[in-house]
């Protein structure tokens, strides 16, 4: 995922334009994270669509730093969970604690009660603990002993994971993967970007101290709410609705896949395409907007047939074929 073409710089936008706040946020993130502009765009789309995002990449490519920096620049509450094999569901959602002074149980909130939850290395914990996030991600609440406890209005899960071929990992089940709006692949930096990282560290940059790096809040929940309202007003023509449905149905019919995109995937593609178009400065969606976000929106919802994996076929390659064969609306 690259930055939408035509995205205006903050100085070219009116001060009250919600896009200006998000472009300020993008510039602020760049103070701590070199490169990864496409991943930043994906995080912005997740925030605009009230969706969750899964970042996959090898250790050391700044996945955690990126999420922490976005939370700081957006002036939202954030908490971090380091997922480990011995983590329990109550460590994620919270649990009832007996108070001997009152002889009653009280609920102690878990780290999910925040705005931006960093679920670090989510695939290093067993499925039982992974499943603790299912209700949290879908219904944005925690149920304990029949009582529902709602999460904040602004709430997203930003999870990181290492590729499943690394030792000590547990693949996420399809039910949980489908609850992520986007799966973003965090690439290795280019040579110039890596030089920029080394120059920053040589000059004294400490990734544990974002304040010292000059990262400060430049947008808030009100800016985000205004941006979400603007995205909701983006126009999408009826033929494009059919195009989105046809793309998702094609993934269910291709012989290379044993699991295609669900209707949730189609609604996700609708939302991400509108957010992409809005970030590009348009009030309507083009077919190219749908194509631009199709891979990160759908790749984690598809499952290859085993024989295709043995042949080295990738999900992204199958999606490329689908995008090339499904007729594009004129």
Both ends of the chain: CA-CA distance in Å? 24
Q: What is the per-residue pLDDT across 138-154, written as a single tens digit (0 to 9) for each? A: 889 888 877 888 999 88
Quick one: 102 exposed, middle or buried, by C-beta within 10 A (0-12, 13-18, 19+)? exposed
Q: Which residues contact 306 (CB under 8 A, 6 or more apart)?
A: none
User: In this predicted structure, what is the pLDDT of residue 162?
Assistant: 77
CB 248 within 8 A of CB 265: yes
Parallel/antiparallel/unpaired status of strands 53-56 and 156-161? parallel
252: which 2 tokens? 């269910």
Domains of the chain as residue ranges with CATH: 14-232 (3.40.50.300), 234-330 (1.10.8.80)
Specify whether the backbone of 181 is left (phi greater than 0), alpha (psi in -120 to 50) or beta: alpha
Output the tens digit of pLDDT for each of the chain's 330 residues.
677 765 655 556 666 788 888 898 988 888 888 888 888 899 999 999 999 999 988 877 878 888 888 888 988 888 889 988 888 888 888 888 877 887 788 888 889 999 999 898 888 888 888 888 888 888 898 888 778 889 998 899 999 887 765 666 778 888 888 899 999 988 888 899 889 889 988 888 888 888 888 889 988 888 999 999 999 999 999 999 999 999 999 999 999 999 999 999 999 999 999 999 999 999 999 999 999 999 999 999 999 999 988 888 899 999 999 999 999 998
- How many secondary structure helices (H) and strands (E) does the chain include? 14, 11
Give the three-state DSSP class for 258.
strand
Parallel/antiparallel/unpaired status of strands 78-82 and 116-120? parallel
Give the three-state DSSP class for 280.
coil
Specify whether the backbone of 258 is left (phi greater than 0), alpha (psi in -120 to 50) or beta: alpha
CB 311 within 8 A of CB 287: no
Residue where the block lists tokens 């896949």 = 257
- Using alpha carbons, select from 175, 281, 159, 153 the residue that is nearest to residue 224: 153
User: In this predicted structure, what is the pLDDT of residue 124?
Assistant: 87
Give, in degrees to the nearest 5, the angle at Cα 186 between 318 and 36: 120
User: In this predicted structure, what is the pLDDT of residue 172?
Assistant: 83
Alpha-carbon span 207 to 213, nearest angstrom = 8
CB 114 within 8 A of CB 77: yes
Give the three-state DSSP class for 105.
strand
CB 115 within 8 A of CB 219: no
Please give the model's pTM, rounded to 2 decimal places. Answer: 0.88
Alpha-carbon span 124 to 167, nearest angstrom = 9
Alpha-carbon span 292 to 294, nearest angstrom = 6
Task: Give the sign of the dihedral formed by CA 48, CA 51, CA 57, CA 61.
Answer: positive
52: which 2 tokens? 């969750």
């Amino acid at each position: 995922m690259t930055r939408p073409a035509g995205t205006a710089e903050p100085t070219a936008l009116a001060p009250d334009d919600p896009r200006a706040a998000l472009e300020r946020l993008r510039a602020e993130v760049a103070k701590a994270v070199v490169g990864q502009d496409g991943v930043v765009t994906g995080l912005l789309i997740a925030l605009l669509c009230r969706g969750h995002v899964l970042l996959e990449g090898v250790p050391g490519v700044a996945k955690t730093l990126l999420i922490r920096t976005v939370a700081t620049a957006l002036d939202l509450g954030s908490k971090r969970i380091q997922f480990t094999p011995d983590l329990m569901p109550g460590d994620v959602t919270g649990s009832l604690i007996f108070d001997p002074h009152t002889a009653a149980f009280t609920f102690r909130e878990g780290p999910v009660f925040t705005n931006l939850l960093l679920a670090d290395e989510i695939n290093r914990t067993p499925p039982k603990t992974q499943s603790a996030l299912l209700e949290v991600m879908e219904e944005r609440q925690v149920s304990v002993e029949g009582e529902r406890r709602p999460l904040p209005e602004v709430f997203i899960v930003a999870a990181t994971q290492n590729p499943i071929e690394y030792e000590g990992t547990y693949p996420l089940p399809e039910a949980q993967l489908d609850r992520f709006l986007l799966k973003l692949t965090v690439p290795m930096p280019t040579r110039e970007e890596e030089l920029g990282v080394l120059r920053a560290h040589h000059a004294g940059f400490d990734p544990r101290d974002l304040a010292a790096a000059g990262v400060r809040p430049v947008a808030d929940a009100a800016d985000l709410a205004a941006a979400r309202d603007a995205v909701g007003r983006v126009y999408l023509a009826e033929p494009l609705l059919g195009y989105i449905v046809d793309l998702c149905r094609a993934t269910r019919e291709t012989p290379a896949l044993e699991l295609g995109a669900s209707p949730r995937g189609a609604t996700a593609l609708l939302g991400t395409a509108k957010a992409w178009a809005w970030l590009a400065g348009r009030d309507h969606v083009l077919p190219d907007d749908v194509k631009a976000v199709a891979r990160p929106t759908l790749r984690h919802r598809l499952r290859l047939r085993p024989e295709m994996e043995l042949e080295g076929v990738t999900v992204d390659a199958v999606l490329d074929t689908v995008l090339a064969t499904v007729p594009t609306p004129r």
